[in-house]
């Protein structure tokens, strides 16, 4: 932020008409979100970043006079916030162009839910299940299962899907349109949430006392198709894959996800085993939320003396005809040789790194997204092996 603030002060004094014109064109093209976002950020900073539900009533309720007064009083900060966004999207555009010119497509992610303290919720309160104070009446989560006796309480506000459908899913359309302008392919997070949502009363401390409510995902995706035609999507359909989820995914031709780390330890019908894949799918050796392949292998190989090895490990080695010495390459080969249209391999798995290089641990807030590869890690030997595999399997 200190560098951005310094850049903003220099921008205010610039005489570069080309740069000034580029900034104004950006503001004009993105005004449908940029005006509200910049005002939201400015008001938030002026209120010590208190949640918008704790702002003055007039601002909380978006009364026009209060908003106009804030735009005048906070004009300098609103201007700064627009500039920060201009810088980000200017750099993003250059990066994406650089990638596309080299045959590299970028996959972006749309999380299904939003945090309640966001300008999207503040600006679209009628489209969420909120009380008169702007606080959620129900929040998102998942019910109790074998992994958690109380379920998972995510705490995100839930959409008023009936209201959204009444007004033609306009918020979702604009969200998708903007993401399509940023990315080549969009991965839709928590795809199963487009068939049903687990609603938990806001005051509850666990997700146990929730209920399923239906979600008009089919109507939403029909609206997407009518608006955009065929959209390049990937469905993050991990979790409880019900017939309704499969029908929604397949009827719109959206590829689902297969994860090799989930494949082993059960029977031959496991959908994550390569012999069960269909062509319209995306296979991962592991996702950003998983161990690295080497980390996965080490965790299962490590056992007390005299204890049998885990069934998942025995199944894995037998299935891949591997002795484990090059387990990451065996996973990569299984992914690349499968019929899935797209195969994704995290760089940590290409490099054969253990969990010290793990990308993310779900439900934790520290130490994530910090791993970086270093100059010299990408050797000619690794490049040669990866190239050979891609050529061998037509990738």
Question: pLDDT by residue (tens digit) across 68-99?
Answer: 999 999 999 999 999 999 999 999 999 999 99
Pair 73, 117 in one domain: no
Residue 171 burial (C-beta neighbours within 10 Å; 0-12, 13-18, 19+): middle
Q: What is the CATH number of the domain that holds 349?
A: 3.20.20.80
**Alpha-carbon span 335 to 258, nearest angstrom:** 9
**Alpha-carbon span 70 to 52, nearest angstrom:** 14
Query: Which of 84, 104, 124 finishes a domain?
Result: 104
**Alpha-carbon span 209 to 201, nearest angstrom:** 8
**Alpha-carbon span 23 to 18, nearest angstrom:** 9
- So what's the pLDDT on residue 365? 80
The pLDDT of residue 149 is above 90: no
The pLDDT of residue 239 is above 90: no
Angle between helices 170-182 and 217-228 (to 10 degrees): 50
Closest C-alpha to 113, from 142, 148, 84 = 142
- So what's the pLDDT on residue 304? 63
| pLDDT tens-place string over residues 15-43 | 999 999 999 999 999 999 999 999 999 99
Asked if residue 154 lies in contact with residue 195, where contact means CB atoms within 8 angstroms, the answer is no
Pair 134, 71 in one domain: no
Pair 280, 260 in one domain: yes
**Alpha-carbon span 26 to 36, nearest angstrom:** 15
- So what's the pLDDT on residue 305? 58
Pair 16, 116 in one domain: no
Pair 370, 269 in one domain: yes
Q: Tokens in use for 322?
A: 């591997």
**Alpha-carbon span 311 to 295, nearest angstrom:** 17
| pLDDT tens-place string over residues 204-235 | 999 999 999 999 999 999 999 999 999 999 99
Helix (H, G, I), strand (E, B) or coil at 289: coil
pLDDT bracket for residue 306 (50, 70, 90): low
Distance of CA 52 to the CA centre of its chain: 24
Pair 50, 171 in one domain: no
Pair 275, 372 in one domain: yes
Helix (H, G, I), strand (E, B) or coil at 110: strand
Average pLDDT over residues 139-160: 89
| pLDDT tens-place string over residues 166-197 | 999 999 999 999 999 999 999 999 999 999 99
Residue 370 burial (C-beta neighbours within 10 Å; 0-12, 13-18, 19+): exposed
Task: Kindly name the residue from 204, 244, 289, 314 that is annotated as catalytic.
Answer: 289
Average pLDDT over residues 132-146: 91
Query: Which of 104, 137, 157 finishes a domain?
Result: 104
Asked if residue 155 lies in contact with residue 172, where contact means CB atoms within 8 angstroms, the answer is no
Q: Tokens in use for 334?
A: 């299984």
Pair 152, 100 in one domain: no
Q: Spell out the residues 6+ positions from residue 371 whose beta carbon is closer than 8 angstroms to its own.
A: 348, 357, 358, 359
289 carries an active-site annotation = yes
230 carries an active-site annotation = no
Pair 352, 213 in one domain: yes
Q: How far is CA 296 from CA 272, 289, 299, in A?
A: 16, 12, 5
Task: Kindly name the residue from 36, 189, 244, 246 that is annotated as catalytic.
Answer: 189
Residue carrying the six token digits 């932020």: 1
The answer for 190, left when phi > 0, alpha when psi is -120 to 50, beta otherwise, is left
Query: Based on the structure, what is the number of domains in the chain?
Result: 2
Task: Kindly name the residue from 236, 237, 291, 330 that is annotated as catalytic.
Answer: 236
- So what's the pLDDT on residue 362? 81
107-110 and 256-259 beta bridge pairing: unpaired
Question: For the residues of 32-74, what is the DSSP string, one character each?
Answer: HHHHHHHHHHHHHHHTTT--GGGS-HHHHTT-HHHHHHHHHHT
- So what's the pLDDT on residue 308? 66
56 carries an active-site annotation = no
Q: How far is CA 47 from CA 40, 51, 52, 63, 339, in A?
A: 11, 9, 9, 17, 54
Pair 33, 121 in one domain: no
Closest C-alpha to 33, from 91, 88, 82 = 82
Query: Which of 104, 119, 144 finishes a domain?
Result: 104
Pair 128, 37 in one domain: no
Q: Tokens in use for 232?
A: 């390049």
Average pLDDT over residues 99-111: 96
Q: Tokens in use for 367?
A: 């130490």
Asked if residue 193 lies in contact with residue 130, where contact means CB atoms within 8 angstroms, the answer is no
Q: The domain containing residue 306 runs over which residues?
A: 107-392
pTM: 0.91
**Alpha-carbon span 12 to 15, nearest angstrom:** 9
Pair 79, 154 in one domain: no
**Alpha-carbon span 11 to 22, nearest angstrom:** 12
């Amino acid at each position: 932020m200190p560098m951005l603030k310094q850049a903003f002060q220099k921008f205010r004094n610039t005489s570069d008409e080309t740069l000034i014109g580029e900034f104004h064109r950006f503001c004009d093209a993105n005004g449908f979100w940029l005006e509200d976002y910049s005002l939201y950020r400015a008001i938030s900073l002026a209120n010590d970043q208190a949640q918008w539900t704790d702002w003055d009533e007039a601002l909380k309720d978006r009364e026009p006079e209060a908003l106009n007064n804030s735009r005048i009083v906070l004009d300098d900060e609103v201007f700064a916030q627009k500039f920060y966004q201009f810088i980000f999207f200017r750099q993003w555009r250059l990066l994406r162009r650089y990638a596309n010119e080299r045959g590299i497509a970028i996959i972006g992610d749309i999380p299904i839910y939003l945090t309640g303290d966001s300008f999207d919720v503040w600006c679209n309160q009628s489209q969420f299940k909120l009380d008169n104070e702007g606080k959620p009446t129900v929040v998102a989560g998942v019910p109790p299962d074998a992994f958690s006796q109380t379920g998972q309480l995510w705490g995100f506000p839930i959409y008023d899907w009936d209201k959204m459908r009444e007004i033609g899913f306009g918020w979702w359309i604009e969200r998708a349109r903007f993401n399509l302008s940023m990315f080549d392919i969009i991965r839709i997070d928590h795809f199963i949430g487009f068939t049903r949502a687990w609603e938990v009363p806001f005051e509850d401390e666990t997700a146990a006392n929730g209920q399923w409510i239906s979600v008009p995902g089919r109507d939403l995706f029909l609206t997407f198709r009518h608006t955009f035609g065929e959209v390049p999507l990937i469905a993050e359909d991990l979790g409880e894959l019900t017939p309704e989820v499969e029908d929604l995914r397949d009827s719109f031709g959206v590829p689902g996800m297969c994860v090799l780390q989930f494949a082993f330890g059960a029977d031959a019908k496991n959908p994550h085993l390569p012999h069960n894949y269909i062509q319209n799918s995306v296979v991962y050796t592991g996702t950003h939320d998983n161990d690295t392949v080497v980390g996965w292998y080490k965790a299962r190989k490590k056992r007390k003396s005299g204890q049998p090895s885990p069934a998942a490990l025995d199944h894995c080695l037998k299935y891949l005809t591997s002795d484990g010495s090059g387990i990451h390459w065996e996973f990569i080969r299984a992914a690349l040789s499968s019929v899935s249209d797209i195969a994704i391999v995290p760089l940590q798995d290409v490099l054969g790194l253990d969990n010290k290089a793990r990308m993310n641990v779900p439900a934790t807030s520290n130490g994530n997204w910090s791993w970086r590869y270093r100059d010299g890690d990408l050797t000619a030997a690794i490049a040669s092996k990866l190239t050979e595999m891609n050529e061998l399997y037509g990738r």
